[in-house]
Amino acid sequence: MNAYKIIEIKKSVFENNDREADRIRETLKNNKTFLLNLMSSPGSGKTTTLKATIAQLKDDFNIGVMEADIDGDVDARKIAQTGVKSIQLHTGGMCHLDAGMTEQGLTELGAHELDLVVLENVGNLVCPAEFDTGASKNAMILSVPEGDDKPLKYPLMFTVCDAVLINKIDTKSVFDFDDDAVVQRIKKLNPKAEIFFISAKTGEGVNIWCEWLKNQIIEWNK
């Protein structure tokens, strides 16, 4: 038997996604469950970042992960190795998760028993930004190889995120990436965004991001 379930989620039936998302958020708050919606392009290092984050937080919190993908179970397999509860959500070709789809995952995962649930959204900088999933906070990863111009081209994603992780800083020697320019571009869209420079691979900067996330969870439970 696999260490994780694969769930084929269905298209939502709810007409008003924002209202549904608010309802989910309220239930999560009442249950003292923090939901992090983690978004990015394909291949920016969501799963590796998540593994590094779990390693730092799993002694403090009961953690669960929902891996959303068009197909496959590559990520759920990796997360299952960390020992936390994980499920793989198949979106049936859908390019994002909305509130209703997220709720199907939360139910399958048994979210009410968990302190921290991470939704690893479908790799996509466009569509996931348009749908409130009901998350407590939104975070995104931009990796150095993708370039510092991405806030100019995908502004909504940078606008809706509470935290932006700049990942793969260990590869800077082979890419032209301007730290100051990317910070300026993000802050122009979203002055309140918290920005973290990390390498999920080497671990550099991950503790600062985890400290921030930990404080958000504590705040959520007050």
Which one, 141 or 217, has the nearer CB to its own copies?
141
DSSP tag of 142: E
Residue 53 in tokens: 């984050």
- Candidates 151, 167, 158, 133; CA nearest to 49 is 167
Q: Which of 22, 58, 124, 183 binds its own copies (CB under 8 A)?
A: 124
Question: Phi first, then psi: what are they for 140, rounded to 5°?
Answer: -135, 160
Place of tokens 């209703």: 100
Q: With binding defined as CB under 8 A, does residue 197 bind its own copies? A: no
Return the range that interacts with its own copies (CB under 8 A); candidates 10-18, 52-60, 103-111, 152-160: 152-160
Distance of closest approach, residue 74 Cβ to its own copies, in angstroms: 5
Q: Which of 122, 169, 182, 206 binds its own copies (CB under 8 A)?
A: 122
Distance of closest approach, residue 11 Cβ to its own copies, in angstroms: 15
Distance of closest approach, residue 175 Cβ to its own copies, in angstroms: 7
Count residues near its own copies (CB under 8 A): 36
DSSP tag of 2: -
Per-residue x/- track, 44-63, its own copies (CB under 8 A)? x-------------------
Q: Are 187 and 193 in contact (CB under 8 A)?
A: yes
Q: With binding defined as CB under 8 A, does residue 126 bind its own copies? A: yes
Contacts of residues 208-211 at CB distance under 8 Å and 24 or more positions apart, as own/partner, are 209/53, 209/163, 209/165, 210/53, 210/56, 210/57
Q: Are 65 and 50 in contact (CB under 8 A)?
A: yes
Q: Are 135 and 54 in contact (CB under 8 A)?
A: no
Q: With binding defined as CB under 8 A, does residue 72 bind its own copies? A: yes
- The residues binding its own copies (CB under 8 A) are 41-44, 69-72, 74-75, 93, 95, 122-127, 130, 143, 145-147, 149-150, 152-156, 168, 170-171, 173-175
